[in-house]
Structure 1
Amino acid sequence: MRRVEHVMGFPVSLRVDDEGIPEEAADAVFAWLREADARFSPFKPDSEVSRHDRGELGHGELSDDLAEVLDLCEHYRLATGGAFDARLSGRGLDPCAVVKGWSVQRAAELLRAAGATRFVLNAGGDVVVSGGPWRVGVRHPQHAGSLCAVLELTDGAVATSAPYERGDHIIDGRTGRPATGLLSMTVVAPSLTEADSVATAAFAMGAEGIEWAAAQGGCEVFAVDAAGQVLRTAGFPVAGESSPAPGAA
């Protein structure tokens, strides 16, 4: 089974190699991602996030899902000393840095519940895999179309934070200015909730985020600093420099 749809502002591709998984499983994945976008986007005025930000929904009125997302945002704000912050000064509530990985991880869990054991779910370059080994490419932060590494994963997730697609969109909450010190931060973790949140939080911290990310339980790190130097943890699953199979982070 293969499916590609544009959801949450980026392409999402699904590949399932198991036999007998019904198309309804893919339908459920993309329906959930569209629902998550409608409920948690700060860019949609009728979303739960926007209504909460305007004061129309108190904390006691939030869905369990949004309460979980906000708890994750607060966890990473505290863990990074404020570098990661979903409530930047002068801006509205924006939990997107957590919502993306969290919602795609839940979509992967829907696949597993449907019986899928070998699949790749690639959401705009952030990837969840199961039943590998799968090869995933890490894009070179300065040369579009080039890879700086290829990693091999059996089960888990990988996410990269960098400015090469959206410009300087990651803000250091401590300064209110675009984060500096890193060109890219790639994190491998057991779930995309962790991988995506840690990658963004670490990038917001700058160079100090490398050591911080590496200290997070279950996380392996591949970072390129502002000088172009590559730093990675010993357990980062680099497979080689050949072209990746299912998707690039």
Structure 2
Amino acid sequence: MPTHVFDTMGTTVSIRSAGPAPSGEVLREVEEAFAGFDRRFSLYRDDSELSRVARGELALHHAGSILRDTYAAAMTWSHSTAGAFTPHRPDGVLDLSGLVKADAIAAAGRILDAGGAPSWMLNAGGDILVRGAVDGMPWRLGIVDPDARGTLLCTVALDGARRALATSGTAERGEHVWRRPAAAADSRSYRQVSVIADDIVTADVLATALLAGGPERCDDLLDRFDVDVLLVDDRGDVTASPGFRSAAGLILA
């Protein structure tokens, strides 16, 4: 299966093709799309527009329309998740990384579609968007066990409208998500959340929101958004929505 791999935005991106591979020009456009997001939004680049905002050199209302629109979208997600997802760090720094990687994946997917690639899987650091099928069968993706990174909890099939899978957790990157304070000292928290959705932005944002909001926010978020989830809590208990169990072909608690 043809595979194209490159590093960008602090992660590795791979594109696997189950049919004719995208042309070199299309792959260059995909790489440039990710690079453009990195140049604008990375807080690890001193010359990015967002870094200038974070340092106070550029007022947000004077920033370019793309940055302002992305911030507006992030705030819409923040309001719709009651703050479980937020573009603001605890120290007040504006950080749009929770949204822009998914935006970049979505943009890359549009480029692949426009370039005529019939069946592909785009994986950016574990957040995945697919198109088409593999030999007539849905793309099947693995969910890593946070307690044993070399093994899988299960595999899931992405079929029909369900084209996106995102996972957020602490096993690989540590505590990188700003969590809401627990309501009680013995409250559980999630170690890993995987979300299947129709689009990668919804999957990625809600994986972050569920990890941050924890079990106290889970039912509310799942009632309001059409997604399927696999949840691993800090006790090692694994639960899944009915749709996720169906996609995985497994019976989970």
TM-score w.r.t. length of structure 1: 0.87
Distance (whole Å) between structure 1 residues aligned to residue 81 and residue 163 of structure 2: 24
Cross-structure match for 1:168: 175
Cross-structure match for 2:79: 78
**Which deviations, in whole Å up to 9, do the C-alpha atoms of 1:104-136 show, x marking residues without a partner?**
111111111111221000001110011021000
Cross-structure match for 2:241: 233
Of stretches 135-144 and 73-82 in structure 1, the one that deviates more from structure 2 is: 73-82
The residue type paired with residue 64 of structure 1 is: S
**Identical-residue share of aligned pairs (%):** 33
Deviation at 1:67, TM superposition (A): 2.2
After superposition, residues 44-123 of structure 1 pair within 5 angstroms as 44-123=45-124
Deviation at 1:17, TM superposition (A): 2.8
The residue type paired with residue 55 of structure 1 is: G
Cross-structure match for 2:144: 139
Deviation at 1:59, TM superposition (A): 3.9
Cross-structure match for 1:245: none
Distance (whole Å) between structure 1 residues aligned to residue 45 and residue 88 of structure 2: 17
Deviation at 1:210, TM superposition (A): 2.7
Q: With a CA cutoff of 8 Å and minimum separation of 6, indicate the structure with the bigger relative contact order.
A: 1
Cross-structure match for 1:130: 131
Deviation at 1:240, TM superposition (A): 4.3
Distance (whole Å) between structure 2 residues aligned to residue 173 and residue 45 of structure 1: 30
Cross-structure match for 1:223: 231
1:110 counterpart SS class: helix
Deviation at 1:60, TM superposition (A): 4.0
TM-score w.r.t. length of structure 2: 0.86
Of stretches 76-85 and 135-144 in structure 1, the one that deviates more from structure 2 is: 76-85
Q: Give 5+ residue unaligned stretches, structure 1.
A: 242-249
The residue type paired with residue 112 of structure 1 is: D
Superposition CA RMSD, Å: 2.1
Of stretches 63-72 and 27-36 in structure 1, the one that deviates more from structure 2 is: 63-72
**Which 4+ stretches in 1 moved above 6 angstroms?**
none
**Which deviations, in whole Å up to 9, do the C-alpha atoms of 1:184-232 show, x marking residues without a partner?**
1110111111111110011100112432342243311111122222221
Distance (whole Å) between structure 2 residues aligned to residue 209 and residue 129 of structure 1: 29
Q: Is the Cα–Cα contact under 8 Å of residues 166 and 200 in structure 2 kept in the other structure?
A: yes
The number of aligned residues is 238
Q: Is the Cα–Cα contact under 8 Å of residues 76 and 201 in structure 1 kept in the other structure?
A: no
Distance (whole Å) between structure 2 residues aligned to residue 43 and residue 142 of structure 1: 30
- Closer/same/farther in 2, CA of residues 234 and 201 from structure 1, 3 Å limit: same
Q: Give 5+ residue unaligned stretches, structure 2.
A: none
Q: Is the Cα–Cα contact under 8 Å of residues 41 and 49 in structure 1 kept in the other structure?
A: yes
Cross-structure match for 2:206: 198
Deviation at 1:137, TM superposition (A): 0.5
Q: Is the Cα–Cα contact under 8 Å of residues 119 and 130 in structure 2 kept in the other structure?
A: yes
Cross-structure match for 1:185: 193
1:187 counterpart SS class: strand
The residue type paired with residue 238 of structure 1 is: A
1:167 counterpart SS class: coil
- Closer/same/farther in 2, CA of residues 120 and 20 from structure 1, 3 Å limit: closer
